[in-house]
Structure 1
Amino acid sequence: MTTTKRFLVGAAARNNAEWCAVMSRSHGVRGEFGRQAWTAPARTPPYYPDAVTLAPGADAAELLDRIDTEARGASVKDSFADLDLTRAGFRVLFDAHWIHRPASAPVTVPEPVWDVVRTPQALRAWQLARAGAADDAALFRPELLDDPATFVLAGRSAEGRVVAGAVASRSERVAGISNVFASAGGAAAAWPGVLHTVERLFPGLPVVGYEHGEDLDAALRHGFEPIGHLRIWLRD
């Protein structure tokens, strides 16, 4: 791995950990940043890890001591895919790639119209469009709207209905993108609008995130490059 890619992976991991910390705080769970990892002492919201490594070669035993491994469902985002947690009862849930897109890459002005969600009512509509069901619609809580580094992005039809969206998380060196969706066409349909909006919000910042499977293919078609592996571990 080149020095540039190593730097970008580190920046992407830190950005993602900061977003996980924000999401967890909105659910009343306060994590802690250490030298090697961000960790949460209690179970984090669904789909969010209890730990995110921030540097290669993290001490697995020390990391696991800082999260709740007694209850089922503990998870670790192994940002450098260099841990072996099998002896602690974890299994690999999936592998993925960190991705990067330069800030200077051109973006075609998209349709539909995109904006930043500002109110709890608008966030509720965004969640229902994303989840497609009420069960997951409580995951994104209004407290997120108070975080100065978090931007919930919504693409709206001519009638004002949310048809696409994403979450942008700004950190010192990068803008992180997650939760990309579109009601028709999947993530591939959302990326042009997401990138256009992010460039408008954070001019000059490179864009990072992580994807796997078809969503990774969609990101690569929109100017991203894979910069490193990561692994999600789960303890059933």
Structure 2
Amino acid sequence: MNSSITMLAAHNNATWCDAVCRAHDRPGEFHETIWLTRLGTPRFYPDAVTTAGVEAAPAQLKAIADLISSNRRREWFVKDSFHCLRLESLGFEPLFDAEWIAMSGVRPDGRHHQPGDRSTIVTDEAGLSAWERSWADEDAKASAIPLPRVFMPGLLADDSIVFVSIQGEDGSTGGGILNRGADVVGLSNLFGSQMDRVWRSLIAIAGESFPGLPLVGYEHGHDIAAAKLAGFETIGPLRIWRLPATAR
């Protein structure tokens, strides 16, 4: 694989971020080399995602500088999709580095590898609420106050987005999200106690829901190894940047 699939992965991720923000009535803007939103984002989601590499860095830096100038009293986050920006000059600090991943061609047969698992597609608001509670379980346990919703019911009306819930015979649970965009399918927000089974189930559902399209995503830390075991390969680095809020 080459940089073209990495660019598709970045565009796919920007499309997904835009969908999540639109579901919160905070639409973003697609520019030639960057997606951004001026209205704030749900937790874990960036205010900007770059969609082109180093040749576009000057234009992206200007767009980001203009964006953050609108409100320096809050945090800002940027997904530097090609790990090529020097955002220290604007006061940002690296939050974490990650790797884009992709799978195309013949896929491992995950459907029958764990016959006791049952994968279902979430179709209603009650199911989505239950799915999000499972996804956010560890964060919710650590929080003293109820956490705001990230995934709003309006996302269920988009036929390019699939929430997958996985139930194992052993009582284990898991899931993830598929989103079609930029001629690829993005896998994100994977969770579960048996991650090898989660990966296999999501790959199988992706093949059924969006046949023939390459799969993409990004992971970091130990999760990269799990993705590789599932059949993905790394296709390029990215960096998440954070700009701390200024004192009021």
Q: Same fold (TM over 0.5)?
A: yes
> C-alpha deviations, 1:176-215, integer Å up to 9, x for none?
0000011x23x33310111111111111111000000011
Q: Partner of 2:2: helix, strand, or coil?
A: helix
1:25 alignment partner AA: R
The Cα offsets for residues 82-138 of structure 1, whole Å up to 9 and x where unpaired, read as 001112110000000000011422222244111210000000110111111383462
Residue type matched to 2:210 in 1? F
Name the structure 2 match of 1:205: 213
Query: 5+ unaligned residues in a row in structure 2: which ranges?
Result: none
Given the alignment, which residue of 28, 49, 55 partners 2:46?
49
Alpha-carbon distance in 2 for matches of 1:180, 1:191: 8
Contact 1:129 1:162 in 2 (8 A): no
- Provide the aligned length of Structure 1 versus Structure 2: 230
Q: Distance in 2 between matches of 1:162 and 1:18?
A: 31
Shift of 1:171: 1.4
Higher deviation after alignment, 126-135 or 16-25: 126-135
Cα RMSD (Å): 1.8
1:147 alignment partner, one of 144, 158, 179: 158
Task: Tell me which structure has the larger Cα radius of gyration.
Answer: 2
Q: Which amino acid in structure 1 is aligned with residue 159 of structure 2?
A: P
Q: 1:37·1:63 contact (CA, 8 Å) conserved in 2?
A: no
Give the TM-score, by structure 1 length.
0.91
Partner of 1:231: 239
Counterpart of 1:129 in 2: which secondary structure? helix
8 A Cα contact 1:94 1:233, kept in partner: yes
In the aligned structure 2, how far is the partner of 1:162 from the partner of 1:129?
11
Going from structure 1 to structure 2, the CA distance change for 1:117 and 1:103 (only over 3 Å counts) comes to: farther
Is 2:220 the counterpart of 1:220? no
2:27 to 9, 27, 30: 30
SS of the residue corresponding to residue 46 of structure 1 reads: coil
Map of 1:196 onto structure 2: 204
Report the residue type matching 2:16 in the other structure. W
- Distance in 2 separating the partners of 1:70 and 1:88: 11
Matches within 5 A, 1:52-67: 52-57=49-54, 58=57, 59=59, 60-67=61-68
Do residues 114 (structure 1) and 124 (structure 2) align? no
Residue of structure 2 equivalent to 1:171: 181
Select which of 85, 88, 92 maps to 1:86. Answer: 88
User: Which letter maps to 1:163?
Assistant: T
Q: SS of the residue aligned with 1:75?
A: strand
Between stretches 103-112 and 192-201, larger displacement belongs to 103-112
User: Gaps spanning 5+ residues in structure 1: where?
Assistant: none
Give distance in 1, aligned partners of 2:149 and 2:80: 27
Aligned with 1:66: secondary structure?
Answer: helix
Query: What displacement does 1:71 show?
Result: 2.8
Report the Cα offset of residue 162 of structure 1: 7.9
Asked whether 1:5 is paired with 2:6, we answer no
